[in-house]
Amino acid sequence: MRFLRRLEGEKVNFNEALDKRAAIVEEALDRYLPSADVYPQILHQAMRYSVMSGGKRLRPVMVMAVAEAAGGKADNVLPAACALEMIHSYSLIHDDLPAMDDDDYRRGRPTNHKIYGEAMAILAGDALLTMAFGLLAKCSNSRPEDVVKVIAEVAAAAGTSGMIGGQVVDTFSAGEEINADTLEYIHRNKTGALYRAAVRTGAILAGAEEKKLAVLTEYAEYLGLAFQIKDDILDIEGDAAKIGKPVGSDLKNNKATYPSLFGMAQAKKKACQAADKALSALKLFGNEADFLRELVQFVIERDF
C-alpha cells in the first residue's frame, strides 16, 4: 500500500480537520431539523434522537470536502451535506426495525424504535428521507439545473437501483449461501451508492467540469468499497465499545462478508487495494484534495 508518508503531527492535523468539519455538520443538522418543541413534538424528538446521536458524519464531510476540492465553498453545499446524512440516518432507523435487522442498539444507545416505538420509528425515518429532498432543494447558491441534477442522482442512489436495492438483497439473502458477485452487489448498492452520491453531489453543486466529476466518482467508488470491507473486518476484529455495537453480528445473522467469503488476510488485502485505487483516482488534483486523500487512510485505519 503506497500510502502517504507522514509525521504523527499530520495525522493529528487531519483528525482536527475532520472533527472541525463534523462539528459544522452537527451544528447545521441541529439548525435544519425542526425543534423538539415544535408540534408534533414526539416526531421531531424521534428524528433528532437518531440524527443527533453522533456518528462519523463521513457522507456530509465528503460533500463539503469534494466541493472545496472542486473549487467551490463548503458552506454553499451544507444543506446537501446534511441531506445525505439524513438519508443515512433514516436508513439506519428502518434497518434496525424488528421486521428488518431487529437491532436493539446503535452507536451504543437503544435504537429508535426501542425508545419511540415502531410506528414512530417508521414515521421518523420517512420524515428524514422526505426532509432530505427538501434540503437538497435549498442549495440556492448553486445553479438550479445542477440542483435538479443532484436530486435525480441522490434519488437514484438511495432508491431501488441503489441503497434500497442493496438492503433488499442483503435482508433477503441472510442465511443463504451467496457468492462474490452478490456480496459486491450488496455493498456497491447498500453503502457504496450513497458515498458515490455524496461525492458527486459536492462536485456537481460546485460546478465541477466533467473530467473532474469522472475521477471523483472513481475515487468515491473505491473509497466506499474500502469502507465496507473495513466495516466487515471490524465486525470480527473490532472493539464493541469503540464501534458502538456488538461484534460478530454479521456472523450471528449469517451475513456474507468479505472475511467470510475470502478469508481475513485476503479481505485486508482487498481493502488496501481499494484504498490505493481511490488515491490513484485523485492524481489529477493537487493539495486541494489532500483532505480527500487523508480520508482514505482514515477509513482504512479507523478502529471504530
Give yes or no for residue 253 binding a second copy (CB under 8 A): no
Which residue in 71, 108, 134, 248 binds a second copy (CB under 8 A)?
Answer: 134
Stretch that binds a second copy, among 20-28, 141-149, 216-224, 275-283 (CB under 8 A): 141-149
Amino acid in the structure at residue 130: T
CB of 257 to a second copy, least distance (A): 19
For residues 71-108, one letter each, b for 16 or more C-beta atoms within 10 angstroms of the residue's C-beta and e for the rest, the string is ebebebbbbbbbbbbbbbbbbbbbbbbeeebebeebee
Contacts of residue 171, defined as CB under 8 A and 6 or more positions apart, other chains included, come to: 100, 101
Q: Which three cell numbers stand for residue 162?
A: 441503489
Q: Which three cell numbers stand for residue 124?
A: 421518523
Which residue in 60, 125, 192, 224 binds a second copy (CB under 8 A)?
Answer: 125
What's the CA gap between 205 and 149, in Å, rounded? 9
Give yes or no for residue 215 binding a second copy (CB under 8 A): no
CB of 181 to a second copy, least distance (A): 11
Contact 207, 242 (CB under 8 A): no
**∠ at Cα 278 (107, 198), nearest 5°?**
55
Give yes or no for residue 77 binding a second copy (CB under 8 A): no
Binding mask 31-60 for a second copy (x = CB under 8 A): ---x----xx-xxx--x-------------
Q: Give which of 26, 27, 20 is closest to 68, Cα–Cα.
A: 20
Stretch that binds a second copy, among 24-32, 152-160, 219-227, 258-266 (CB under 8 A): 152-160
Which residue in 56, 110, 115, 126 binds a second copy (CB under 8 A)?
Answer: 126
Dihedral sign for Cα 198, 228, 216, 162, please: negative
Of 155-184, binders to a second copy (CB under 8 A) are: 155-156, 158-161, 164-165, 167-169, 171-172
Q: Which is nearer to a second copy, 45 or 297 (CB)?
A: 45
Contact 104, 114 (CB under 8 A): yes
Contact footprint for a second copy (CB under 8 A): 34, 39-40, 42-44, 47, 90, 94, 97, 99-100, 117-120, 122-123, 125-127, 129-131, 133-134, 136-138, 143-145, 147-149, 151-152, 154-156, 158-161, 164-165, 167-169, 171-172
